[in-house]
Amino acid sequence: MGNDMRIEEENIMPKTIFLAGATGAIGRRLVPQLLQAGYTVFGTTRSAEKARDLDATGIRPVVVDVFDAAALKRAMVSARPDAVIHQLTDLPPAVDPARAAEFAARNARIRREGTANLMQAALAAGVKRVVAQSIAWAYAAGDEPHDESAPLDLEAPEPRSMSVSGVAALENAVLGEPATVTGIVLRYGHIYGPATGADVADGNLAVHVDAAARAALLAVARGAHGIYNIAEPNSVVTSAKAVRDLDWKADFRL
């Protein structure tokens, strides 16, 4: 069945969003944009304290662990969202190089198991649209700049293979669901800006956290099933598809 049967062609706009990772670096910059756009937002956190902070921003907090599949399913079905935005990571703003492998493994688990649980919960809740965070530095070596059709570096040695395999699992889960679900993957450059641990752009492959959040908002409203690179102009990847199809602008700031 072709993409013409998916939700983006049905003129049905999402009204309620389930934001997984509402207190993360991108989630915090995305919340005000979603609210300003008129969405009802359910935002997840594992912390009761952070839930109070979310409530104060005007969204509906959901205290749940993405690895608790049953609790996540109950929360999703109760919220009855039209769309899910997956911005979950398991990385602190600054990673001690001595613990880099540990955090890479934790982040890969989020991408594999957490994403699988989110997709199962979304299907149970009848969600029609899922937008998920991925990365733009997992491409295999080849002609640059890479567009979204370029292959991932699935044959990479360790420790890179851990991250790439996690990315592949996430993307396959989001894009491989039935034609009733529009799956959208945003391959972000290295995030910088408020609460990211990086005040300035990586000169090679970067995106400001506000522009990254903006891409998720635009994808919910108008994204077609598939993958979008989201990065400032650079020699490694091209974001021409996002600029053209989402009207995304790399210089967007709150």
CATH code (residue 133): 3.40.50.720
Domain membership flag for residue 42: yes
Cβ atoms of 230 and 189 within 8 Å: the answer is yes
Domain membership flag for residue 251: no
Domain membership flag for residue 119: yes
Domain span at residue 145?
3-246
Domain membership flag for residue 78: yes
Domain membership flag for residue 252: no
CA end-to-end distance (rounded Å), the chain: 39
Domain membership flag for residue 254: no
pLDDT per residue as tens digits for the range 83-98: 999 999 986 655 566 6
pTM greater than the 0.85 cutoff? yes
pLDDT per residue as tens digits for the range 171-212: 999 999 778 899 999 999 999 999 998 999 988 899 999 999
Report the domain count for the chain.
Answer: 1
Domain membership flag for residue 170: yes
Show the 3-state SS of the chain: CCHHHCHHHCCCCCCEEEEECCCCHHHHHHHHHHHHCCCEEEEEECCHHHHHHHHHHCCEEEECCCCCHHHHHHHHHHHCCCEEEECCCCCCCCCCHHHHHHHHHHHHHHHHHHHHHHHHHHHHCCCCEEEEEEECCCECCCCCCECCCCCECCCCCCCHHHHHHHHHHHHHHHHCCCCCCEEEEEEECEEEECCCCECCCCCCCEEEHHHHHHHHHHHHHHCCCEEEEECCCCCCECCHHHHHHHCCCCCCCC
Domain membership flag for residue 253: no
pLDDT tens, the chain, 254 aa long: 344 445 444 445 689 999 999 999 999 999 999 999 999 999 999 999 999 999 999 999 999 999 999 999 999 999 999 999 999 998 665 556 666 678 789 999 999 999 999 999 999 999 999 999 999 999 999 999 999 999 999 999 988 999 999 999 999 999 997 788 999 999 999 999 999 989 999 888 999 999 999 999 999 999 999 999 999 999 999 999 999 999 999 999 99
- Closest to 175 in 3D by CA, of 133, 217, 225: 225
